[in-house]
Chains A and B, each alone.
Chain A
Amino acid sequence: MEILGTITLLIFIVTLVATLLGWIKMPVQTVLIGITLVNIVLALIFFGLQGMADELRLVPADVIGRIILHPVTALLGGLFMGGVLGAAGGFEAIKAIVNRLRKTPLGLAGTLVILINIPLITMLPCGRIIAAALLPLLFMFGPEGSGTLRKTQLIVFIAAFARNSFGSCGPSPVGGVAQIAEGTLGGATFPDAAAGILRGPQVFSLMIGTAFMALFIRFVTKRLYPEDTVQIKDREGGVEPEIKVNWKGYTSLIIFALALLTATFISFIPSLKFITVQAIFVAASILIIIVCRVSLGDLMTGIILMPATAMVAGFLAAGSLYPTGGMQVLQSIFKGLAAFPLLGVVGTLVILVQAQTILPLSCSRILTAVFVPLIYVFGKGVGLTDLQIGIVMAAYIINATTSCAPSPLGGAGMMAEGQLRAETGYLKGAFSFTSLAVMAPLAAVFMRFITLDVFARNPQTGQMMFTATWGHLGQTILWSLVIMAAAYGLIVVMSRLITASLGRNRKVLIASFGLGGVLCGISLALALRLGEPVAGTSLGVSLVQGIIGGIIAAVLIALMIQVSFAGPPLKENVQAVEG
């Protein structure tokens, strides 16, 4: 069984890495289905040769049974709503409202801040929905549209929006990525986890991560293009489009907002808890179809199938590792890493937290199906408490959720780069850096001091296990400020070291990522100490292990996603400026 597990795990990892590095040029869903089929066939041959008839019969059912239907159906409900909203003109209504906001005391700056954060406010199950709808509008703020923003400002603006958008699928109550982890955490200690135990940490870290994405891109762009000469390839006839919204757009938006509020709060009303979010969103979508007279053709064009197929393919490929013993082998590997003194439990956890940014796929749901159960079982195996597992899960899930942005396999970040008409990969470094050094540590801190107060219950008595105090609030703010200050310092120093030399830039980036990993390792090691040592190690040892784990994870991220600043157009530009 161990041999079979090793083989299937090798097939899974090698194929994924080969796809990531561009050696296999197929959609990742196709690759995953291929992995599943090969693993099933291998299992059938292995069990047939061993004469294990019962195991052989159960293999297909075991693989199919790993598909968790709730997030899939919730995602489809959310995508259905996104399609209806687009067809009825709901997104046009959002644009019109934003235009009006500019004339209020919020002014342009306040409106831009709200606009950047609209994905986090609407919380759709895939950031691509809102990004596809709003990116053209955002671009029109630039020199080719209304001319409100300069080119550098436009790049910062779109980059921040992209960061916010391609992380907003995590806290979504309708099929959000975090629901997979919330379902796993729900148990004796967190009986109400499904009500959104990971939502608070994700929102908190994504808010700050978005601001740091803007900072990162600002400093780098200003360094590379000091005279605001950044080359956005010209497009003819750029003018700000006139936004026409009829009553259907506003009506659909109101129905969507009411459905979102109902879906968010219904789990807190015991007598109505049996109504699922899927039912609410499908009912609201049907209401929009009837009231706004949306045709089925319009509706279908708005639905994005990629996240749903990615999720199912991910569940299947991960599922094929269970009956073949691949998951046990993976657990053994991480247990082996944890037994290595320099890395230990904390260092291994830091690597696990960053796993999906190391292997960024087009949709984070694919690998979440593998790593969520792995982290849970690994945590239990090395003696972590439920609260500590909750903290690790909070850090992991924000990192996982945001990993689709820097993915070279049709990652969502490419939408933003395409809209900017910048070279592919310009935003990649910033996406990964914010996930690594800012968001994961902040999510752990928020979970540690604030969210446990809402969710953690003693399994025996049902009483809350942790009560947040003003002291905890102060610690949250202090830790967050320290993490933000350190990340800010790293970004500033890194941007000052960037030159026209691509080779040097790459070294600078790897070093910066390494220090970002150190920040993540220290933060996680400190957040995990809930009055008792982590897996029996002292604070000093935990910190060292966290730092080593962080550096390994960070260097792997920098190497795997080929982080760099600049293709030929940027290089020429820098040389021209310096010349």
Chain B
Amino acid sequence: MFTFIVFIIAGALTGLITTYALDMKTRKELAQGTRGGVIRAKIRALLGPKKMSGRRGASPGRASHRLAPTKEIWQTKNKKKTSRR
């Protein structure tokens, strides 16, 4: 999620900067450039690596000792959410 947020902010900002650098300075043009930057960033964020769950697909020999702890983390997080409710 954090990757997505950072990408969107960076996309908007760089879209704005690029439009400014292209000497397009009206509000409409700057908004269009920002929109273009956000669209580009969204596409890139969707293509980026995601945080892996317990089933990470590592080789079976290595994965076995890590699956359990990952599951525990997941359960701990769920417990925390439940307690907040």
Contact = CB atoms under 8 A, between A and B. Distances in A.
A477 B6 CA distance: 7
B81 interface: no
Contacts of A208: 10, 13-14
B11 to A, nearest CB: 6
Nearest to B39: A114
A268 B57 contact: yes
A199 interface: yes
Interface string A453-479: 111010001111000100011001100
Given A195-B49, A473-B5, A110 B17 contact: no
Interface of A: 105-114, 116-117, 120-121, 123, 149-150, 152-153, 156-157, 160, 191-192, 195-197, 199-200, 203-204, 207-208, 210-212, 214-215, 217-218, 260-261, 264, 267-270, 273, 446, 450-451, 453-455, 457, 461-464, 468, 472-473, 476-477, 480, 484
| Nearest 8 CB-CB pairings of A with B | A462-B66, A110-B36, A270-B57, A113-B36, A214-B21, A211-B14, A109-B32, A107-B32
A370 to B, nearest CB: 27
B66 A453 contact: no
A157 B70 CA distance: 47
A457 to B, nearest CB: 7
A267 B66 contact: no
Give the one of B51, B56, B73 with max A CB within 10 A: B56
Interface in B5-20: 5-7, 9-11, 13-15, 17-20
Interface string B52-73: 1001111000100111011001
Contacts of B30: 109
Given A121-B43, A207-B7, A211-B17, 20 more contacts: A105-B35, A107-B29, A109-B22, A109-B36, A112-B19, A112-B33, A113-B19, A113-B36, A114-B39, A153-B22, A195-B52, A200-B49, A211-B18, A218-B22, A270-B56, A273-B57, A450-B3, A457-B66, A463-B66, A476-B2
Contacts of A121: 40, 43-44, 47
Contacts of A264: 47
Contacts of B80: none
Contacts of A476: 2, 6
A114 B17 contact: no
Interface of B: 2-3, 5-7, 9-11, 13-15, 17-24, 28-30, 32-33, 35-37, 39-41, 43-44, 47-52, 55-58, 62, 65-67, 69-70, 73
A156 B3 contact: no
A450 B48 contact: no
Give the one of B19, B44, B50 with max A CB within 10 A: B44
Nearest to A120: B44
A114 B21 contact: no
B18 A116 contact: yes
Nearest to A215: B21
Contact of B33 (A113, A199, A212, A269): A113
B21 A109 contact: no
B57 A114 contact: no
Nearest to B23: A153
B17 A191 contact: no
A462 B43 CA distance: 31
Contacts of A200: 3, 48-49
B50 A268 contact: yes
A166 B13 CA distance: 21
B57 to A, nearest CB: 3
A461 B56 contact: no
A153 B3 CA distance: 32
Given A113-B37, A270-B55, A273-B57, A212 B17 contact: yes
A114 B67 CA distance: 41
8 contacts: A106-B32, A106-B36, A121-B44, A149-B22, A207-B10, A454-B51, A462-B69, A462-B70
A517 B10 CA distance: 23
Contacts of A218: 21-23
B72 to A, nearest CB: 8
B49 A454 contact: yes
Nearest to B49: A196
A461 B57 contact: no
A462 B44 CA distance: 28
A454 B3 contact: yes
Nearest to B65: A462
B50 A454 contact: yes
